[in-house]
Amino acid sequence: MWRDAGTPADSYYQVRPECTADVPQSKFRIKAGRTLSARKWNAAFSSEGYLDVGKTLGRIQRGGIHPSIRGEVWEFLLGCYDSKSSFDEREQVRERRRAKYAMLKEECRQMFPLVGSGKFVTAPIIMEDGQPIQDPIVLQQINLGNEPASLTEGNDAPNGLRTVKQSNGHCPLDKKEIQWKLTLHQIGLDVVRTDRTLVFYEKQDNLSKLWDILAVYAWFDSDVGYCQGMSDLCSPMIILLENEADAFWCFERLMRRLRGNFRCTENSVGVEAQLGNLASVTQVLDPKLHQHLETLGGGDYLFAFRMLMVLFRREFSFGDSLYLWEMMWALEYDPDLFSMYEDHELASEKTEESRGKAKSIRQCGKFERENMRRNGGKNGAEPLPISVFLVASVLKDKSSKLTEARGLDDVVKILNDITGNLDAKKACTGAMKLHKKYLKKAKNA
């Protein structure tokens, strides 16, 4: 139900009473006439289900999305569904996708029975060579109380505790399975730390759902696997989308945008490329600040690592971070997202036919329109994401303080002080201004 204009949305994401003093209050206000309401959202669909997404983008950019419809709107913003599809076509995609998730989850359950059990692990279950760990604490965590096929009684197990049998039918485990199992406890450790101030995660079922999705994703995208920070990105999907499979695919679409940040090698972390982009943008827009940061030894911009890695989740209240994300995605929206992202076997014939057709600029977000107008796709250069300009706008806003910093510790302290004090709307507006200025300067360079 629609609330009074200017009402904060905190009640949708309740904070545990004992944590209220430590959690910044949301600045996001539900405003009639500005925030995208259920009525306006439903009115944007034709009788067959085709979405005129251009009608909604401006409203999202101005006032965000009402929490009651946030999950389903996000599915479109992230490219889970094609705005040019009908109700029936989307239902077919949804059912096929849910079946695919069920298959992936069962594949994981066969390798480790705690997947889908309502439980999860926070201690390592295997060693680097794939051998099971016999530690009593580990064995207690994985003891389901029943006798599933992949758990067997170990004669030498202390107090009759069960030991894990390698359950993929051969020995030793293959490299992919070893790598996956090595990450399961780290996922568990991060799950119990993620959004722990929210009432939602007082329920064990919600914690295990988050662990299941992240465990399945680590198997599904083995090139990236699991890295710290992913739980922060996945958590809102669990809260907004009741169906676990829908939450998984929404998270998977978000990771399509961000997975490069999490790809690591022995010598580098993926997000370093974005930090390099941030350095280039700052050098063009605020050369004095960039020079000062370089003098302090901060030319690698590692102090901005967290902001880019988890999209400001730590700098905003929970509600405000969701508001920031949806404004970013509305500004960046590209109507071809679905056809670019969707697995070939799940794409409809209509989507296949529409590939390569010119997209309507009216159906694009404001940030995307600027890139289309200014760049025109020249030189095949991939446009920089709005997140880079968001961080640049924060740095510019704090430029006077940052240029007085005497060391990197001062820089970190100045940026830490913004936690809970940032205005999402102002940050997006600042990012758009810097983006426009950057494109103009880059074109004239």
Written in H, E and C, the secondary structure of 150-219 is CEEECCCCHHHCEEECCCCCCCCCCHHHHHHHHHHHHHHHHHCCCCCCEHHHHCHHHHHHHHHHHHHHHH
Residue with the larger pLDDT of the pair 241 and 443: 241
Give the whole-angstrom CA distance, residue 12 versus residue 196. 16
Average pLDDT for 280-288: 95
Provide the residue type at 418 as one letter. Answer: I
What pLDDT is stored for residue 344 in this prediction? Answer: 45
Q: What percent of the chain has pLDDT over 70?
A: 82
Residue with the larger pLDDT of the pair 171 and 152: 171
- The per-residue pLDDT for range 28-48, each reduced to its tens digit, is 888 888 999 999 999 999 999
Q: Cα-flanking dihedrals φ and ψ of residue 198, to 5°?
A: -85, 140
Q: CA dihedral defined by 319, 320, 325, 327, rounded to 10 degrees? A: 120
Asked whether the predicted pLDDT for residue 377 surpasses 50, the reply is: no
Task: Answer yes or no: are the C-beta atoms of 52 and 24 closer than 8 Å.
Answer: no
Asked whether the predicted pLDDT for residue 165 surpasses 70, the reply is: no
Asked whether the predicted pLDDT for residue 204 surpasses 80, the reply is: yes
User: First CA to last CA across the chain, in angstroms?
Assistant: 52
Instruction: Give pTM, 2 decimals.
Output: 0.88
Q: What percent of the chain has pLDDT over 90?
A: 62
Asked whether the predicted pLDDT for residue 382 surpasses 80, the reply is: no
Asked whether the predicted pLDDT for residue 231 surpasses 70, the reply is: yes
Average pLDDT for 145-167: 36
Asked whether the predicted pLDDT for residue 305 surpasses 70, the reply is: yes
What pLDDT is stored for residue 49 in this prediction? Answer: 96
Asked whether the predicted pLDDT for residue 210 surpasses 70, the reply is: yes
Provide the residue type at 392 as one letter. Answer: A
The class that CATH gives domain 91-257 is: mainly alpha
Q: Where are the alpha helices (DSSP H) in 78-174?
A: 87-111, 136-142
- The per-residue pLDDT for range 38-79, each reduced to its tens digit, is 999 999 999 999 999 998 999 999 899 999 999 999 999 999
Name the region of 285 (left: φ>0; alpha: ψ -120 to 50; beta: rest): alpha
- Which residues make Cβ contacts (< 8 Å) with residue 230, sequence separation at least 6? 190, 214, 217, 255, 262
Please say whether the dihedral angle defined by the alpha carbons of residues 254, 260, 261 and 262, taken in this order, is positive or negative: positive
Provide the residue type at 172 as one letter. Answer: P
